[in-house]
Structure 1
Amino acid sequence: MTILIRNLQRIALAMGASAALLAPLAVQAQSGEQFVALPSYRVGPYGANGQSFYGGFVDYLNYVNLKDGGVNGVKLSWEECETEYNNAKGVECYERLKGKSPMSKGTAYHTMSTGISYALVDKTAGDKVPLVMMGYGRTDAVDGSVFPYAFPLVTTYQMQVSAIVKFLAGKNGGSLAGKKIVYLYHDSAYGKEPIVALEAEAKLGKFNLVEIPVAHPGNEQGAQWLKIRQENPDYVIFWGWGVMNQTALKAAQKVGFARDKMIGSWWAGSEEDTVPAGDAAKGYMSATWNVAGRGVSLIADIDKVVYGAGKGNMQDRNKVGSVLYNRGVSAAVVTVEAIRVAQARYGKGKVMSGEDMRWAFENLNVNNARLQQLGATGLLPEIKTSCDNHEGSGKVKIQQWDGTKWVVVSDWIEGNKNLIHPLFKASAAQFAKEKGISPACMKS
């Protein structure tokens, strides 16, 4: 009897495994729905960040369905695939999700990972579906004549670091000449991406730059902060992610480096970073391309409509309105607006293809009037794209942690476009040469 039971258990396990393998093939988006692929991450060292971002993204898609019945009658559907912020798993998720809807091929891919984005640039172009990198990713994709299907929207790492330099210069009478700045960064594609721009800014602004990498995931920084104490810089520009951020704030406090002399990237400026750091975070600043809080009417309405219907995606409703939640909403807003733009050109009430969406992302004009209509005034900057400019904005605000919440301490700041955009062009031209691409703007 025992042998029989064991055999039955083995059979059941085998059948379960087979079912698990077959399940992805069986889940297909309905033909009349706009299927949105979400290669997300909610576990691992960066899982808390992904939970808030993708929670906001999904809540907005649900909001559009509940509030408006979809986009011109086309309901939105979606499916997540866990990448764990791992490049190989990110590629696996992309390959799995793109076949869910032969028409949309996933509509637009938001990986929230520079490494995964690099791994998908060629694949998404070959499959003719947009890769949207809002505030991350391959920044030379600003040049649409070389990267027609890649969109580093809102602003890029280079323009962000340039805006940070401009902000710091403004605090020093307009010049950083003779100052010393440490660049403390996540030793990955994400952390390395802005270095070329920061070095150009240092040369132009005549300040001393010291670059210090931190190995993934960043929970060991003793040697780095010992070096920072020895260097005694005027400022630390900080490019962290996940557990690395709270670790850095605590380490800065330990060595006596003032947090109001430390300014992070937008991926090092969320409640997930500051709350766990406690008193060590007070005074710390970061860049951001979206504001926090429920003061934005769209965020308040999502809370009312989606969570009021019991369909909220966040387990912790208190995180609605947090920096990363609102950033996820912003990313979804831009995606849905692109669907509207595509429908206006290719047919209202129809499911849009990846090619339709490419045109839409290249012809966005989300101006302040439209943001006001959406209830998103101030949530994110205006975005106007073209073949020459897949970024569309290049602006950030600076926020500061007061011990309990983020407080915006600047207006929108645009980086030095005349300095930075030629760097994009040069990098894109080199990529085109290596790949044998003849740069040209795609026609609709």
Structure 2
Amino acid sequence: MKSIKHPGLAAILAASLLLPAQSAMAQANDQFIAIPSYRVGPYGTNGQSYYGGYVDYLNYVNMKEGGIDGVKISWEECETEYNNAKGVECYERMKSRNPVTRGTAINTMATGISYALIDKTAEDKVPLLMLGYGRTDAVDGSVFPYAFPLVTTYQMQASAVVKFIASRNGGSLAGKKIVFLYHDSAYGKEPIVALQAEASLGKFTLVEIPVAHPGNEQGAQWLRIRQENPDYVIFWGWGVMNQTALKAAQKVGYSREKMVGSWWAGSEEDTIPAGDAAKGYMSATWNVTGKDVPLIADIEKVVYGAGKGNMQDKGKIGSALYNRGVSGALATIEAVRTAQGKFGKGKVMSGEHMRWGLENLNITNARLQQLGATGLLPEIKTSCENHEGSGKIKIQQWDGSKWVLVSDWIEGNKNLIHPLFKASAARYAKEKGITPACMQQ
């Protein structure tokens, strides 16, 4: 099967309950990757850039290297619209497309969908890849063997943001007030326990203010923020909620230089529509922006030079979400390479093989440099005890026209956060009747 690049065509194919048997067999020699994506709906603009980068990298590996040690990559997108039920439906339809890979590694870019799939994927033995999102407690591979919240979890990200803010206040936030303005969903709620722990440890006041989906109505929330007059706002937004918040902050006179967003609130899709209201705003990130990264420049040369690029708007190549999509695909392919190193180069890797590959990742700076991807993601080294592999972020600031890094790598407080997710994983194990144990290596 050829790679599917047109979102409308992908949606039509995803709507089919079953493909003919020969189609699945035709892909048997490919490393087939199922992509439950979203390119329409309230978050479609963000998804277009992210999945554009993701698909471009898969195409790039095929074109540049002939696949992964000779194994061609194929893929199919299924439109979820960031909807939990549609996300589950897409997964169920696509897992049978290839009888060996069963989707390779499922990356929904939606915390709610990942929550809905975490038991199903474990039962089916298909890795659930939660790159910078999802359940923090899935870091514990003894309880969640098939779930991988790679790079940095929401709780470690929130802890690192607090550390950054403290660094700008002489190392202490005692007596300060921080508002946590968040998307009222699993995504927005995930870091609350970490922020509450940080507030207790750091002796600052935490004020939690939710925003209903999709977030284009925030008048009441920003009126309260003006009344609270916090020292900082930690912002956990997504989609239209982000530009709305920046404009609302400007309207009530709250300094954007005192706002620090999550990395899903730190893209050009958020800042450019906000205009002057975005200048000075900061956000977390795990990847650099721009085409100065050799890999991004080479993707544009190789893939778009051949007229096979996924992005209709080529101006978004090198944007925050495009580069993040590339980094997500890169991590996936590196896990395939790792699995091939154990189970056979030039062979198609199953979901069980991929689980091992993801649990034994060792993406060093030297490897990133070799790939031309320095700065696209931090070093990642995973194990059964740590399916996250990093826990680090950088902070970037919008200067009115582009993102500029204003920090080096910052690691969240492991001593504070890891006991939190371990306790959560233990409760989950007890609830589900799971005996925590690392799978055979």
CA separation in 1, counterparts of 2:121 and 2:17? 24
CA separation in 2, counterparts of 1:391 and 1:206? 28
Task: Report percent identity of matched pairs.
Answer: 81
* Compared CA separation, residues 225 and 310, structure 1 to 2 (3 A): same
Once the two structures are superposed, the pairs formed by residues 47-66 of structure 1 within 5 Å of their partners are 47-66=44-63
Tell me the residue number matched to 1:102: 99
Q: Of 325, 332, 335, which aligns to 1:335?
A: 332
- 1:406 aligned to 2:429? no
Q: Of 434, 437, 442, which aligns to 2:439?
A: 442
Tell me the residue number matched to 2:417: 420
Q: Of 231, 243, 246, which aligns to 1:246?
A: 243
Tell me the residue number matched to 1:286: 283
Secondary structure at 2:429's aligned position in 1? helix
Between Structure 1 and Structure 2, whose CA radius of gyration is higher? 1
Query: How much does 1:233 deviate?
Result: 0.4
Once the two structures are superposed, the pairs formed by residues 77-116 of structure 1 within 5 Å of their partners are 77-116=74-113
- 1:433 aligned to 2:430? yes
1:83 alignment partner AA: T
- 1:43 aligned to 2:40? yes
* Compared CA separation, residues 22 and 289, structure 1 to 2 (3 A): closer
Q: Would the aligned equivalents of 1:125 and 1:149 in 2 still touch at CA under 8 Å?
A: yes
1:172-224 CA distances to partner (integer Å, 9 max, x unpaired)?
00000000000000000000000000000000000000000000000000000
Once the two structures are superposed, the pairs formed by residues 35-434 of structure 1 within 5 Å of their partners are 35-434=32-431
Secondary structure at 2:96's aligned position in 1? coil
Q: Which moved more, 1:188-197 or 1:23-32?
A: 23-32
Secondary structure at 1:343's aligned position in 2? helix
CA separation in 2, counterparts of 1:384 and 1:30? 31
CA separation in 2, counterparts of 1:139 and 1:205? 21
Query: How much does 1:19 deviate?
Result: 12
1:263 alignment partner AA: V
CA separation in 2, counterparts of 1:20 and 1:396? 38
CA separation in 2, counterparts of 1:172 and 1:34? 50
CA separation in 2, counterparts of 1:441 and 1:138? 19
1:46-87 CA distances to partner (integer Å, 9 max, x unpaired)?
000000000000000000000000000000000000000000
Unaligned stretches of 5+ residues in structure 1: 1-16
CA separation in 2, counterparts of 1:87 and 1:20? 16
Q: Would the aligned equivalents of 2:104 and 2:351 in 1 still touch at CA under 8 Å?
A: yes
Secondary structure at 1:251's aligned position in 2? helix
Query: How much does 1:402 deviate?
Result: 0.3
TM-score normalised over the length of structure 1: 0.95
CA separation in 1, counterparts of 2:14 and 2:124? 28
CA separation in 1, counterparts of 2:432 and 2:377? 35
Q: Would the aligned equivalents of 2:182 and 2:189 in 1 still touch at CA under 8 Å?
A: yes
Runs of 4+ in 1 over 3 A off after TM superposition: 17-27
CA separation in 1, counterparts of 2:354 and 2:336? 7
Unaligned stretches of 5+ residues in structure 2: 1-11
Secondary structure at 1:44's aligned position in 2? coil
CA separation in 2, counterparts of 1:19 and 1:432? 34
2:223 alignment partner AA: L
Q: Would the aligned equivalents of 1:24 and 1:96 in 2 still touch at CA under 8 Å?
A: no
CA separation in 1, counterparts of 2:71 and 2:14? 31
Secondary structure at 1:303's aligned position in 2? helix
**Alignment coverage as a number of residue pairs:** 428
* Compared CA separation, residues 274 and 99, structure 1 to 2 (3 A): same
* Compared CA separation, residues 19 and 91, structure 1 to 2 (3 A): closer
2:29 alignment partner AA: G
Query: How much does 1:284 deviate?
Result: 0.1
Secondary structure at 1:299's aligned position in 2? helix
Secondary structure at 2:306's aligned position in 1? coil
2:364 alignment partner AA: N
Query: How much does 1:24 deviate?
Result: 3.7
Secondary structure at 1:190's aligned position in 2? helix
CA separation in 1, counterparts of 2:260 and 2:125? 38
Query: How much does 1:31 deviate?
Result: 1.5
1:313 alignment partner AA: N
Query: How much does 1:30 deviate?
Result: 1.6
Q: Would the aligned equivalents of 2:14 and 2:79 in 1 still touch at CA under 8 Å?
A: no
CA separation in 1, counterparts of 2:426 and 2:324? 31
